Amino acid sequence: MSWLNMLGPLEWAILGSLPGLLVALYFLKLRRQPLVVPSTYLWTKTLEDLHVNSLWQRLRQSLLLLLQLLLLLFVILAVLRPGCQGTDLVGDRFIFLLDHSASMSATDVEAGTRLDEAKRKISQTIERMKPGDSAMLIAFSNRAQVIQSYTRNKSLLKKKLESVEQTERGTDLTEALTAASGLANPGRTSTEETDIQVADSLPAKLLIYSDGGVNEIPDFSLGNLTPEYFPIGGLEPPRNAGFTAFALSDESGADRRMELFAQLRNSLDTGRTVNVSLFVEGKLFDAQAEIQLDPGQAKGVSFDLTALAGSIDQPQQLKLQIEEPDDYLQDNVVYGILNPPRPAKLLVIGPGNDYLKVALQTEAIVRQAEVRFESRNFLETPEYETDAALGTFDLIVYDDCTPAKLPQCSTVFVGRAPPGDSWKFGPRQFPTVIANFDQSHPLMNSLQLLKLSIVESAPLEPPAGATVLLESTDGPLMALAPRESYQDLVISFPLAELQENGEFSINTNWPSQLSFPLFVQNLVSYLSGGARYFTTEVSSPGSIVRLRVPPTVEQIRITNPANQMETLRRGSDQSFSFSGTERAGWYDARAEGKKELELPFAVNLLDPRESDLTVRDKLEIGHEEIAGQRSIEPARTEFWRWLVILALAVLLMEWLVYNRRLAM
Amino acid sequence: MKVQPSTATLLPPQLLAQLERMELVSRKIFRGRMKGERRSRRKGQSVEFADFRNYVPGDDLRFIDWNLYARLDKLFLKLFQEEEDLHFYALIDCSPSMDFGEPSKFLYARQLAAALGYIGLCRSDRVKIEPLGLPVARAAPALRGRGSLWRMLSYLEQLPCSGTTDLTAAVKSFCLRNAGKGIVVLISDLMDKNGYESALRALIARDLDVYVIQVLSQAEIDPDLKGDLRLVDVEDQAVTEVSVSPRLLDKYRRTLATFIETARAFSARRGISYMMTSTDRPVERLISRYLRQRGLVR
């Protein structure tokens, strides 16, 4: 039992003087009504009899006073707000944020998985909700899903809670917080004169059940949300070693090595030894035993797949697996697809520059790319438009010409700026003196350009984020800039310019140097990818995979790791987008067209944050730091309402006594 | 007999007719001074035959039954019921406490005295109304005969309710002034703080046939009081403070019942006929039923 003082000294003085005042009033008050009677003889005799038990009489006389004093006592006690620790929750509106990201599948808790433990805790909290309390349930991974909007129905909440399933996604709390604050912090419409709140804000208690492995949320104001964070996870540090990175590397050099790289990380604070096996099409292909992992450290492993890559004509399913089970199994396996080599597709549009033609027909390039030459008129044809929109080519070289808009592939512009405002050419300068070039960049690998002579060139103004590869004393001459998943290379000087008489005038001596064919070769292998084995990048669960297929393909059938088939049709942007990548594993995609096309891809989480199973003891949201608590703070059970009811009952009794005295 | 309109409050005409058929009865044999209309247990001169007895010399020859003498040759004297008059005293308590209630106890007492007095007048009894507590000069003269009704009523009408409060002293004063035997009816509320017992003893000592009629108002029998009150005695201004509660009222009723029972027991032991009546009970009903049962009238 504890007391909360509600009043200040002055108010206490006033309240404390009331009983004395009441007693004083009671004595002053007793002004009896005079009444003439024929004789007080019998009354005197009656009172004489009654005086025998006069003490009781006195009490009876002052029963009203006693009741009034009792009433005051109850009021004073009620003002003191007695109470004790109860079981009800504080607040009347709750938002449960349930983390069902991949790391919640860790089994370092008693209840089974961390998700089960979180569900159990939420269920207990729902049980303790008072009648009239409302709650909503949001499950979040790297996206948020409102499982149940505000309701007072506890059984519905529990039913919906049970329906939340484990995902294999990463964690992003931002969307969940945005969804939660939608009702608590309604938006405002402001104009210059007014600032109007759109709706009434509904403050709520935000109960976050997570292992704390969430992204940083620097700019988020909780506003009317009162956050509480309940870390879910075992008390002991979890045992986990897992893959955090995976790559297939195609060294498209002369020796054509194909390697698989993976990064292993041990999140345990003691060292650990693991065995890693590589399976190809379900059969053990290679293994590395006794890999020593230092605590908290990452270590790389690599497998040579060159022999395998050279001998396949079908995509191969790769699986890399840690043999030792631990608390979190999802990151113990990583999936990959090894595609048979496919030559890159190049399109060269220009006036028919022989230097380029010659350079693109060397043996090294023919081995890894199919090159097609077209005149500048080809830009006007519908075929070009379709190919450009669908990304049929891996690289398009625009020699002294500009398309109406940039195609869906990487580009090289020679002597002309790309369409749009991002690239700018300055006025042509004569002569051009080479000042510097970036020899470390793969495109400039093994090139010697300082002896290059250029007649005229326009200094470039590349967009932000571009890499300048070649610079003259007047400004950049060659720059590489990323665009979506593509790259644009712009060379600001033409190799040769077509004169009005139909002949080419030479602008540079570069084509006659040894560095030119090497540069073109670098261009093809770097920008078009060369002949690639690993055609699709590794996607993470929940991400959208775009499949590039020839325009003749009408639909694609995709079979997910659970053997469920889905048929994709061409979207409004003519591409195929697949969003059903909920689970890690191999996805088998088959395009139906004139000939069947296999486009398998693999989905892996590979998230170091998810693999780090350490339970964070606090969350940082915006500028607020929320310390984790193991159990929810119960509400104080207040007794003052009962005291007020008692006081009212006493008042009623007093009224009855008063009336009985008068009525009879 | 024609009744004055002002007397209607004391004796309504229909009551008069009813009362004319009644007479007062005494449980004792008194020798009246004058011949009245009362049949005495004594044999005497009247028209109603009672008995025979042997003639002894000196008897009035007028009462010898000559028919019997002719048949039996013996002298028998015819005895007749003696009819005689009776002293009837109505003592009315004139203390201020009687002027209370609705109707007031004093009015009720006067009505009762008038009714009983009228019965006496009709039977040629000597009727005397005695206001207790008033100065001796205000005492009524002894009345006799139906013709005296008017005098009796007008006397009662103008009787004030402002006498002294000492019942014993008033009764003793009455006893000293009136020597006649007969019936005395004390009409009072008996609410004398010095007690009513000595007053009644004084009456018994006079060897009178005593009737006590205690008149109480309904407000005294079942008081309708509320709240915290200061009760002021109308006679001696004594103050009693009470906080009325059901318990107090209950106790009061029990005290009243005890008081009545004590009075009844006291009276019974001394041959006094006691009766308590409420002012709510009509006078005619009191006389025709209750007093008849008690044997005061028939």
Judged by CB atoms closer than 8 Å, whether chains meet at A47 and B242 is answered as yes
Min distance A91 CA to chain B CA atoms (Å): 51
Confidence of residue A238 (pLDDT cuts 50, 70, 90): confident
Which among B50, B84, B118 is the end of a domain? Answer: B84
d(CA A370, CA A361): 10
Min distance B220 CA to chain A CA atoms (Å): 8
Measured in whole angstroms, how far is the alpha carbon of residue A658 from the centre of its chain? 71
For A176-215, b where at least 16 C-beta lie within 10 A, e where not — what string?
Answer: bbebbbebbbeeeeeeeeeeeeeeeeeebbbbbbbbbbbe
Residues of chain A found within 8 Å of residue B167, distances taken between Cβ atoms: none
Residue B156 lies in a domain: yes
Which among B84, B117, B152 is the end of a domain? Answer: B84
Total of domains in chain B? 2
Residue B263 lies in a domain: yes
pLDDT of A117 above 70: yes
Torsion sign across C-alpha atoms A568, A569, A571, A573? positive
Min distance B191 CA to chain A CA atoms (Å): 7
CB B140, CB B117: distance < 8 Å: no
Location of each CATH 3.40.50.880 domain in chain A = 344-527
d(CA A346, CA A141): 41
Q: What is the CATH number of the domain that holds B163?
A: 3.40.50.410
Maximum average pLDDT range among A228-237, A379-388, A548-557: A379-388
Judged by CB atoms closer than 8 Å, whether chains meet at B243 and A61 is answered as yes
* CATH homologous superfamily, domain A91-188+198-237+613-632: von Willebrand factor, type A domain (3.40.50.410)
d(CA A218, CA A515): 49
Find, in chain A, the residue whose alpha carbon is nearest to that of B230.
Answer: A34
Q: Parallel, antiparallel, or unpaired for β A283-293 and A369-374?
A: unpaired
Long-range contacts of A185-190 (CB under 8 A, 24+ apart): A185/A221, A185/A222, A185/A223, A185/A224, A185/A225
Mean pLDDT in residue range A636-663: 81
CB B75, CB B64: distance < 8 Å: yes
d(CA A296, CA A613): 11
pLDDT, position A489 = 93
Which residues 123-182 of chain B have a CB within 8 Å of chain A? none
Q: Parallel, antiparallel, or unpaired for β A134-140 and A144-151?
A: antiparallel
Min distance A27 CA to chain B CA atoms (Å): 13
Asked if residue B142 and residue B64 are part of one domain, the reply reads no
For chain A, how many residues are written? Answer: 664
A51 contacts chain B (CB < 8 A)? no
pLDDT of A138 above 50: yes
pLDDT, position A657 = 79
Could you give the C-alpha distances from B61 to A111, A552, B56, B57, B78, in angstroms and in order? 142, 176, 10, 9, 10
Please state the φ and ψ torsions of residue A477, each to the nearest 5 degrees. Answer: -110, -25
B84 contacts chain A (CB < 8 A)? no
Location of each CATH 3.40.50.410 domain in chain A = 91-188+198-237+613-632
Q: Which residues have CB under 8 Å from A284's CB, separation 6+?
A: A277, A278
Please state the φ and ψ torsions of residue A274, each to the nearest 5 degrees. Answer: -130, 160
A46 contacts chain B (CB < 8 A)? yes
Share of chain A above pLDDT 90, in %: 8
* Phi-psi category of residue A441: left, alpha or beta, with phi > 0 → left and psi -120 to 50 → alpha: beta
Q: Which CATH class is domain A241-341?
A: mainly beta
CATH architecture of A545-603: Sandwich (2.60)
Q: Which residues have CB under 8 Å from A93's CB, separation 6+?
A: A133, A134, A135, A150, A202, A203, A204, A205
Please state the φ and ψ torsions of residue A45, each to the nearest 5 degrees. Answer: -65, -40
Residue B268 lies in a domain: yes
Select the residue of B217, B243, B255 nearest A42 (Cβ to Cβ). B255
Q: Which two tokens stand for residue B200?
A: 């009644």
**Closest-CA residue to B91 (of B68, B66, B116):** B116
Asked if residue B43 and residue B17 are part of one domain, the reply reads no
Select the residue of B101, B234, B241 nearest A36 (Cβ to Cβ). B234
Asked if residue B45 and residue B90 are part of one domain, the reply reads no
Asked if residue B283 and residue B142 are part of one domain, the reply reads yes
Min distance A66 CA to chain B CA atoms (Å): 16
Q: Which residues have CB under 8 Å from A366's CB, separation 6+?
A: none
A366 contacts chain B (CB < 8 A)? no
CB A411, CB A398: distance < 8 Å: yes
Mean residue pLDDT across chain B: 82
d(CA A181, CA A160): 21
Mean pLDDT in residue range B45-62: 78
Identify the three-state secondary structure at position A525.
helix
Mean residue pLDDT across chain A: 82
Judged by CB atoms closer than 8 Å, whether chains meet at B227 and A661 is answered as yes
Find, in chain A, the residue whose alpha carbon is nearest to that of B96.
Answer: A38
Asked if residue B66 and residue B214 are part of one domain, the reply reads no
CB A496, CB A506: distance < 8 Å: yes
A631 contacts chain B (CB < 8 A)? no
Residues of chain B found within 8 Å of residue A662, distances taken between Cβ atoms: 226-227, 244
Torsion sign across C-alpha atoms A99, A102, A108, A110? positive
Asked if residue B216 and residue B68 are part of one domain, the reply reads no
Asked if residue B169 and residue B66 are part of one domain, the reply reads no
Could you give the C-alpha distances from A35 to B23, B35, B106, B249, in angstroms and in order? 43, 53, 20, 16
Judged by CB atoms closer than 8 Å, whether chains meet at A39 and B98 is answered as no
Could you give the C-alpha distances from B110 to A390, B106, B159, in angstroms and in order? 133, 6, 9
d(CA A100, CA A36): 89
Find, in chain B, the residue whose alpha carbon is nearest to that of A35.
Answer: B231
Q: Which residues have CB under 8 Å from B190's CB, separation 6+?
A: B167, B196, B212, B214, B263
Identify the three-state secondary structure at position A424.
strand
Judged by CB atoms closer than 8 Å, whether chains meet at B232 and A61 is answered as no
B8 contacts chain A (CB < 8 A)? no
Confidence of residue A29 (pLDDT cuts 50, 70, 90): low
> For residues A201 and A468, which has the higher predicted lDDT (pLDDT)?
A468
Residues of chain B found within 8 Å of residue A38, distances taken between Cβ atoms: 96-98, 100-101, 105, 189, 191, 217, 220, 233-235
Mean pLDDT in residue range A478-498: 87
Find, in chain A, the residue whose alpha carbon is nearest to that of B194.
Answer: A41
Location of each CATH 2.60.40.10 domain in chain A = 241-341, 545-603
Residue B33 lies in a domain: no
For chain B, how many residues are written? Answer: 298
pLDDT of A185 above 80: no
Q: Which two tokens stand for residue A346?
A: 């190049």
Find, in chain A, the residue whose alpha carbon is nearest to that of B231.
Answer: A35
Asked if residue B194 and residue B137 are part of one domain, the reply reads yes
Select the residue of A30, A33, A39 nearest B233 (Cβ to Cβ). A39
Residues of chain A found within 8 Å of residue B97, distances taken between Cβ atoms: 38-39
Min distance A47 CA to chain B CA atoms (Å): 8
Name which of A80-94, A266-280, A287-301, A449-463 the model is least confident about: A80-94
Find, in chain A, the residue whose alpha carbon is nearest to that of B237.
Answer: A36
Find, in chain B, the residue whose alpha carbon is nearest to that of A44.
Answer: B240
Taking the CB of residue A377, how many other CB atoms lie within 10 A of it?
Answer: 10
Mean pLDDT in residue range A307-332: 83
DSSP lists the bridge partners of residue B44 as B80
Q: Which residues have CB under 8 Å from A111's CB, separation 6+?
A: A117, A120
CB B233, CB A40: distance < 8 Å: yes
A32 contacts chain B (CB < 8 A)? yes
B237 contacts chain A (CB < 8 A)? no
Could you give the C-alpha distances from A626 to A91, A620, B37, in angstroms and in order? 18, 6, 121
Select the residue of B189, B226, B232 nearest A36 (Cβ to Cβ). B232
Q: Which residues have CB under 8 Å from B97's CB, separation 6+?
A: A38, A39, B105, B165, B189, B191, B234, B235
DSSP type of residue B220: H
Q: What is the pLDDT of residues A373-425, one digit of tens each?
A: 998 889 899 889 888 887 788 899 998 889 988 898 889 999 888 998 889 88
> For residues A624 and B107, which has the higher predicted lDDT (pLDDT)?
B107
User: Rg of chain B over CA atoms, in angstroms?
Assistant: 23
pLDDT, position B45 = 57
Judged by CB atoms closer than 8 Å, whether chains meet at B220 and A41 is answered as no
Select the residue of B191, B228, B255 nearest A39 (Cβ to Cβ). B191
A659 contacts chain B (CB < 8 A)? no
Asked if residue B138 and residue B59 are part of one domain, the reply reads no
Please state the φ and ψ torsions of residue B198, each to the nearest 5 degrees. Answer: -65, -30
Confidence of residue B6 (pLDDT cuts 50, 70, 90): very low
d(CA B167, CA B184): 15
A-B C-beta contacts closer than 8 Å: 99
pLDDT, position A219 = 80
Q: Parallel, antiparallel, or unpaired for β A496-498 and A504-506?
A: antiparallel
Residue B248 lies in a domain: yes
Asked if residue B127 and residue B49 are part of one domain, the reply reads no
A28 contacts chain B (CB < 8 A)? no
Confidence of residue B4 (pLDDT cuts 50, 70, 90): very low
**Closest-CA residue to B153 (of B284, B282, B12, B10):** B10
Q: What is the pLDDT of residues B145-158, one digit of tens each?
A: 888 888 888 888 88
Question: Which of B102, B166, B231, B262 to mutate against chain A (most A CBs within 10 Å)?
Answer: B231
pLDDT, position A308 = 80
CATH topology of domain A344-527: Rossmann fold (3.40.50)
Residue B23 lies in a domain: yes
> For residues A611 and B138, which has the higher predicted lDDT (pLDDT)?
A611
Question: In the Cβ-directed half-sphere of A333, how many Cα atoms lie within 13 Å?
Answer: 16
The amino acid occupying position B218 is: Q
Confidence of residue B175 (pLDDT cuts 50, 70, 90): confident
Q: Which domain holds residue B49?
A: 38-84
B242 contacts chain A (CB < 8 A)? yes
Q: What is the pLDDT of residues B121-144, one digit of tens each?
A: 888 788 888 888 888 777 778 888
For A534-572, b where at least 16 C-beta lie within 10 A, e where not — what string?
Answer: bbbebbbbbeebebbbeeebeebebebbeeeeeebebee
Residues of chain B found within 8 Å of residue A35, distances taken between Cβ atoms: 225, 229-232
Name which of A142-151, A251-260, A651-660, B93-102 the model is least confident about: A251-260
pLDDT of B7 above 60: no
d(CA A562, CA A556): 18
Helix H segments across A470-587?
A: 515-527
B240 contacts chain A (CB < 8 A)? yes
DSSP A272-291: EEEEEEEEETTEEEEEEEEE
d(CA A464, CA A424): 12
Asked if residue B289 and residue B191 are part of one domain, the reply reads yes
Could you give the C-alpha distances from A478 to A394, A402, A425, A490, A495, in angstroms and in order? 20, 17, 11, 6, 13
Asked if residue B207 and residue B98 are part of one domain, the reply reads yes
Residue B110 lies in a domain: yes
